[in-house]
Structure 1
Amino acid sequence: MTNEPRMLKGEVVRWRGQPDAQVHFTRADGFFVPFSVVWLAVSILWTVAVASSSTAPRLMWLFGLLFVAFGVYGVIGRFFVKAARKRRTRYLLTDRRAIIVGPSGVQQIDLPLSERTAYIHPNRTHIDVVFGAEVGPTAGLPGMASLRTYANTGLDFFAAIGPGSPIAFYDVADVEGLEDALDSFAEGAAADRE
């Protein structure tokens, strides 16, 4: 694997995986898909109205095209970007860290991995795991955590302007393998406390 992170001395990889590029929708798309369709329709109508007006400045027409382009990205383009990113992303879970190797480099988090949130998709074919609490310069600021809703939607750049994308494993098909690896952390943490 390219960009394989360097393992620490004595570190053991407990699980390897990747996101399923065939999973396109998230829970947040219940809002984003209709919103994007409405955005695109209004942008097209506004741009056509401005273009057909003889008194409107040309800059208004170009401004409308920018909104149409963003609408097309929201309705269709973001799914292609998301699938391409998933094909180039790998996840590793070691006995010390959660690591993501992706197009933007290597992300990792060192913490008790019991500090995580798991969401198993309703049909139990995939799992999402978000590690850690909110971090970064906007941690604790009201409203900024809501920008994380954009993570794994193809609109991830909105999360980047706020608190940043969380360290998370999204759309993993190996539900049992990842759950087993995560459970071994909980068992290890319980043994350490005794």
Structure 2
Amino acid sequence: MPTDKRKLIVLFCLVAFWIALILVQRHRGETDRPIQGAAALPAASTQREGPVVAPRRQTKDRMEIPRLKLARVERVRPPYEPEARNIFASSEASPPLPSALAAPSALAALPAPPPPPDLFLEEAKRVRFLGFATAEGKMMAFVTYGSELLVVPETEVIGSKLRVKEVKEDGILVTSLDGKKEIRLGLTGPDVAPPSTTTQRGNQP
């Protein structure tokens, strides 16, 4: 029995506490409602003022008629003169590329190749005059041609490109086979370094 009484007392206390808690929450809710409503009024008023003013301004802008700038329309324009052009004519050639223009100048800047060697002069360098002799009234010359020792009279051919034209005590006169070039060879070598060109009398006017 005492335990049942204790349980009833505890249950009664819990119920009373729960009822008191509910009453307190209701009281707080009623006191907070007017403040929330008052705070919400300015927001509602501001929300109403915004959309009311904006449509009026938009309607005024829409009602204004745009003004045309007639000065540009009435301005006198110069007459258009069409350009005569032949559509069947060939198109103008394109200008040459810079590389094509630079190529001739580069070629012109290159040095000229050396002239080919004179075969007559190269052949005459192989001949060396050693002396002379007389046999049967003819002058003969002692010469070396490369490693050969020769005794040649006048008008004799040495090698394949030289002819002994004249033999004297101090040297010989050697010409080419066609007679256009000649050089004199003495005991000390050629008296004239470059070969001279002779002119035939029959070709003179």
What is the TM-score with the length of structure 1 in the denominator? Answer: 0.18
Structure with the largest fraction of strand: 2
Q: Which has the larger radius of gyration?
A: 2
- Could you say which structure has the greater relative contact order, defined with CA pairs below 8 angstroms and 6 or more residues apart? 1
State the TM-score, normalizing by the size of structure 2. 0.18
